Amino acid sequence: MDSALILNAAFSIVNTAQLLIEYVFSSDSEQDSDDSSTETDSLENQTEILISFADRLHSVNRSIWSRETSTDWWDRIVLQLWDDDQWLQNFHMRKATFMELCQELAPALRRKDTRMRAAISVEKRVAIALWKLATPDCYRSVANQFGVGRSTVGVSLTQVCKAINRILLRRTVTLGNVREIVAGFQDLGFPNCGGAIDGTHIPILAPDHLASEYINRKRYFSMVLQALVDHRGRFTDINAGWSGKVHDARIFKNSGLFRRLQAGTFFPDKKMTVGGVEMPIVILGDSTYPLMPWLMKPFTGKLDPAKERFNYRLSRCRMVVECAFGRLKARWRSLYGRLDLHENNIPLVISSCCVLHNIFENRGERFLNSWTVEAERLEYAYQQPDTGVSGGHSLEPCA
């Protein structure tokens, strides 16, 4: 038999014996004083033997069941020696941005030391989560990198994403300066536009329940991220968590964004006159979305030159949402990695990536072309389900 199994069995026996000893002593104190001295002596001898055996077991070297891990790579190399280029390559941000992020999340992530072990620092928790988000590495690989247990990686990822959603989501994924957004889309060729909307599929593992509901038209399991972006590719509204089988138009019609646009409360009441018609601030979608007074979509069918120009301008402006999704997934390649999480936690991860995307875009963090090359390779394995055509124009790629 394996020595570790023998040792564990012995510990179990000793623990049981110690409970019996305590019970016998408590019972013995209640017995009448006429108990025989012979029985008492026998019990005391047995007790001494058991206690001695327990002491011997507790003095055994526990190295066979306690694994030592090294944190030198994180403590001595990353924190102390890496420059900004190395931080950018691996965490997709400069060290200063990382430290500011940790400071923002610290109230939700800080833990106290216990008698058993020292708490993992906020910085290390955030680094573990970011490393898992930025790479398609498995949990074991990340655990070995940081000198922690495999389960610690999953716990850190969930805790950090929950903290990002609770602390940063509402003040980061927001509409912002509407006048600046409208002017930006005007420069791109479409007047009085407040955003472009689209959906993208995030590959996931098959859920335990109702798995068939998550199979999209490309026949892989996914969740949908539907997002509205501004002229600079920043997310101004997100909706994550619908199953991949659900059509984009249905997701949109069941969203809070749709209700606010319909009620006229999302944008300020800023109309302009085009061709003798009052035009409110609109958003732009592809042909899968419903045509609304505040949602423009491309013409279909036989097109005259005016409709061709309209479709071209609309498609050119809609490129910003495609570019935003591309940069999001290039930065956070785990979004291609079929996240090994419960389906209830996956929307937290997706929305956290959107928050971090906005933070980096606002701070002007560099975006490396090498990330796009890797993302395109992963995208090939999980091609997006086809949606409607948008005029058939060949447009310039994202800057």
Residues 188 and 163 occupy one common structural domain? no
Across the range 350-372, mean pLDDT stands at 94
**Residue 146: inside a domain, yes or no?**
yes
Q: Is 60 exceeded by the pLDDT of residue 356? A: yes
Q: How much is the mean pLDDT over the chain?
A: 83
Across the range 348-353, mean pLDDT stands at 96
**Residue 12: inside a domain, yes or no?**
no
Residues 123 and 181 occupy one common structural domain? no
Residues 131 and 193 occupy one common structural domain? no
Three-state secondary structure readout of the chain: CCHHHHHHHHHHHHHHHHHHHHHHHHHHCCCCCCCCHHHHHHHHHHHHHHHHHHHHHHCCCCCCCCCCCCCHHHHHHHHHHCCHHHHHHHHCCCHHHHHHHHHHHHHHHCCCCCCCCCCCCHHHHHHHHHHHHHCCCCHHHHHHHHCCCHHHHHHHHHHHHHHHHHHCHHHHCCCCCHHHHHHHHHHHCCCCEEEEEEEEEEEECCCCCCHHHHECCCCCEEEEEEEEECCCCCEEEEEEEEECCCCHHHHHHCCHHHHHHHHCCCCCCCCEEECCEEECCEEECCCCCCCECCEECCCCCCCCHHHHHHHHHHHHHHHHHHHHHHHHHHHCHHHHCCECCCCCCHHHHHHHHHHHHHHHHHHCCCCCHHHHHHHHHHHHHCCCCCCCCCCCCCCCCCC
The predicted structure's pLDDT at residue 231: 96
Separation of alpha carbons 17 and 23, rounded Å: 10
Residues 150 and 211 occupy one common structural domain? no
Tokens of 104: 């923002």
Residue numbers of the domain that contains 286:
173-381
Of residues 282 and 43, the one with the higher pLDDT is: 282
Residues 180 and 151 occupy one common structural domain? no
Instruction: Give residue-wise pLDDT tens across range 239-294.
Output: 999 999 999 999 999 999 999 999 999 999 888 887 778 899 999 999 999 999 99
Residues 281 and 314 occupy one common structural domain? yes
Residues 207 and 149 occupy one common structural domain? no
The predicted structure's pLDDT at residue 397: 44
**Residue 289: inside a domain, yes or no?**
yes
Residues 101 and 129 occupy one common structural domain? yes
**Residue 96: inside a domain, yes or no?**
yes
What is the pLDDT confidence band of residue 31, given thresholds at 50, 70 and 90? very low
**Residue 98: inside a domain, yes or no?**
yes
Read off the pTM: 0.79
Residues 127 and 265 occupy one common structural domain? no
**Residue 6: inside a domain, yes or no?**
no
Task: Give the Cβ contact number of residue 396 at 10 Å.
Answer: 7
By the 8 A CB rule, do 177 and 231 touch? no
Instruction: Give residue-wise pLDDT tens across range 146-171.
Output: 999 999 999 999 999 999 999 999 99
Across the range 319-330, mean pLDDT stands at 95
Of residues 353 and 398, the one with the higher pLDDT is: 353
Instruction: Give residue-wise pLDDT tens across range 208-239.
Output: 888 899 999 989 999 999 999 999 999 999 99
What is the pLDDT confidence band of residue 357, given thresholds at 50, 70 and 90? very high
Q: Which of 12-16, 91-95, 170-174, 309-313 has the lowest mean pLDDT?
A: 12-16
What is the pLDDT confidence band of residue 24, given thresholds at 50, 70 and 90? very low
Residue 281 half-sphere exposure toward CB, CA atoms < 13 A: 21
Residue at a domain's end among 137, 167, 197 = 167
Separation of alpha carbons 43 and 105, rounded Å: 58
Across the range 125-134, mean pLDDT stands at 95
Residues 347 and 205 occupy one common structural domain? yes
Tokens of 394: 């060949």
Of residues 273 and 37, the one with the higher pLDDT is: 273
Across the range 308-316, mean pLDDT stands at 94
Across the range 297-313, mean pLDDT stands at 93
Residues 361 and 242 occupy one common structural domain? yes
Instruction: Give residue-wise pLDDT tens across range 57-75.
Output: 444 444 444 345 567 899 8
**Residue 396: inside a domain, yes or no?**
no
Q: Is 90 exceeded by the pLDDT of residue 127? A: yes
The CA–CA distances, whole Å, from 69 to 6, 92, 143, 293, 322 equal 25, 26, 10, 61, 43
What is the pLDDT confidence band of residue 37, given thresholds at 50, 70 and 90? very low
What is the pLDDT confidence band of residue 137, given thresholds at 50, 70 and 90? confident
Tokens of 276: 């003798």
**Residue 272: inside a domain, yes or no?**
yes
Domain count of the fold of the chain: 2
By the 8 A CB rule, do 143 and 67 touch? no
Q: Is 70 exceeded by the pLDDT of residue 29? A: no
Tell the burial category of 190 from Cβ atoms under 10 Å away from its Cβ (0-12, 13-18, 19+): buried
Task: Give the Cβ contact number of residue 137 at 10 Å.
Answer: 17
Residues 131 and 242 occupy one common structural domain? no
Task: Characterise 276 by phi-psi region: left (phi > 0), alpha (psi -120 to 50), beta (else).
Answer: left
Residue at a domain's end among 111, 134, 167 = 167
Handedness of CA 284, 285, 286, 290 (dihedral sign): negative
Of residues 342 and 98, the one with the higher pLDDT is: 98
Strand partners, 198: 227
By the 8 A CB rule, do 269 and 194 touch? no
